[in-house]
Structure 1
Amino acid sequence: MTTNNSESLNQVFREAREWPIIPLLEEIITTLSRWFYERRTNANSCPTPLTVDVEDIMRQRYEQSRYMRVTPINISEFHVKGEPLDGLVNIEEHSCTCREFDIDKIPCIHGITAAMHRGVDVYSLCSKFYTTEFWRMAYAKSIYPLPPEIEWLIPEEVKSKVVIKPVKLIPPGRPKNKRIPSRGEFPKEKSNFASESSSKKVKGKVSDVDGGKKQRKCSNCGCYGHNKTTCKK
């Protein structure tokens, strides 16, 4: 239902996919190396405990939580009242009846209100995968370029293998270069202008006769079922 990583990379390397294998690998390595460097730089310059996007979400929810009211139930559960709905928060289980806390693994407005009432650090309630530390760890490694071919260390068992050209049956017609939509995707509808222009290219007129079945109308005699080329008059 969604575009996964492989489809996204196919779109990025759409032109490079037509290249030989070694230039294609060099393009992939160069692109990934640039991405890692940019993300590593952004992660190292982030001053907040959480990533930039999650930090913005936390600030927005903190502003909304200032207008909520808390009723303690026990040491870990709190009933938080406010708009647009109330919530029953469990601080120990990181859960709330609004389900935002459970699914996003980020404290909802009810969770932030309950944490502030109990004196718990709201950042400790976030998943560790949203922290800047994990962001930096994700891009800590460096990707190096492909060395020259003379420096390659190829094992003997690989050198001894004979690789022949695979048997490939080329179907007739122009090869496809567009992605086939996955199940559940809806292709973009053509505009009215495109449909009208394509209909103008068809010789002869088309009309609905005989119970809705479309038939051609001859421009010579005006009858249906044939065109000017096959007209006998």
Structure 2
Amino acid sequence: MSEGFNSVLLTTRSKPIITLLEEIRLYIMQRWAKNRSRISSFTGSISPKIQSRFRKESQLTKSWIPSWSGNKLFEVRHMSNSGDKFVVNIDDSSCTCRTWMITGIPCCHSLAAMKFLNIDGEQFIDPCYMKSTYEETYSSIIYPINGANMWNITPYPDVSPPHKRVLLGRPKRK
């Protein structure tokens, strides 16, 4: 994220601080407005990228066989006898492959267990991927500002840089 932000500001880095800050404000204002308009095109309650990733994971469930242990605890093994087994606890939102815990998106093992119980896997997707969270993130507005010629003139004197003092003693060698 920071590398992408830095690449946008390459041309403005050499400008004075006020101009740099104005460019940053303008960039963020336009980007947030674009993201707000993108939210309105979302269909469903999950962002599109996460929805496609969720679909891919749910397609992989065909090759996993869940074995119910009790409550919402499962042992999920692969169709081939390759020895791949994972323990899924739906109540804790955990799987021993750790994909679900790390990403917040249910893995194919947990989705296979959820299908066994007829539970909708979308309910277990982390709230940070929901449309409502995305809307809340970009709900605040960065307001536009008038140009410097429209600013109110204050009765105070303009701020100038401090006077350069001549230090006593012999100057230091560089």
Conservation of the 8 A alpha-carbon contact between 1:26 and 1:145: no
Percent sequence identity over aligned pairs: 24
- Are 2:77 and 1:78 aligned? no
Q: Whole-Å Cα distance in 1 between the matches of residues 89 and 5 of structure 2?
A: 41
Bigger proportion of residues as helix: 2
Q: Quick one: which amino acid aligns to residue 43 of structure 2?
A: P
Partner of residue 148, structure 1: 147
Residue-pair matches, total: 161
Bigger Cα Rg: 1
Q: What is the one-letter code of the residue matched to 1:44?
A: S
Q: Counterpart in 1 of 2:125?
A: 126
| Residue number among 3, 6, 19 corresponding to 1:10 in the alignment | 6
SS in structure 2 of the partner of residue 61 of structure 1: helix
Matched residue type, 1:16: T
Q: One-letter code of the match for 1:100?
A: T
Shift of 1:76: 1.4
Q: TM-score, normalised by structure 2?
A: 0.80
**Structure 2: 5+ residue stretches without partners:** 165-173
SS of residue paired to 1:66: helix
The answer to whether the 8 Å contact 1:106/1:126 transfers is: yes
Contact 1:105–1:127 at 8 Å: present in 2 too?
yes
Q: Whose RCO is larger (CA < 8 A, sep 6+)?
A: 2
SS at match of 1:27: helix
Structure 1 unmatched runs, 5+: 173-233
Quick one: distance in 1 between partners of 2:153 and 2:140?
A: 22
**Distance apart, 1:160 and its partner CA:** 7.2
Runs of at least 4 residues of structure 1 off by over 6 A?
A: none
1:21-42 deviations in whole A, cap 9, x for unaligned?
A: 3332332222112211211111
Please, what is the CA RMSD of the aligned residues? 2.7
Counterpart in the other structure of 1:50:
46
Which residue is 2:60 aligned to?
Answer: 64
The 1:153–1:25 alpha-carbon spacing in structure 2 relative to 1, beyond 3 Å, is: farther
| 8 Å contact from structure 1 (residues 26, 146) kept in 2 | no
Find the residue that maps to 1:18 and give its secondary structure.
coil
